[in-house]
Amino acid sequence: AVKRTPISVIGRTLYDSRLDELIVENRERFGMEVIPSDSSAKKVYSVLKSGRMLGVLMDLDSKRVSGYFVPFFGQLAKTAAGPIFIGRKTGSPVVPLALFRTPDDRYLLKVLPAFDIPVTENKDEDVKTALAQCNKALEELINYDPTQWIWIHNRWKSKPTPQNDVQNVLEESY
Is 149 among the domain residues? Answer: yes
Contacts of 149 (CB under 8 A, 6+ apart): 142
State CA 80 to chain mean position distance: 8
Is 172 among the domain residues? Answer: no
pLDDT tens string 25-79: 888 887 888 888 877 788 888 888 888 888 888 877 777 778 899 999 999 999 9
> How does residue 168 score in pLDDT terms, banded at 50, 70 and 90?
very low
Domain that holds residue 7: 1-55
Is 39 among the domain residues? Answer: yes
pLDDT tens string 118-150: 999 999 999 999 999 999 999 999 999 999 987
CA-to-CA distance for 131 and 88, rounded, in angstroms?
A: 12
| Mean pLDDT for the chain overall | 84
Q: Is the pTM of this model over 0.95?
A: no
Both 36 and 112 in one domain: the answer is: no
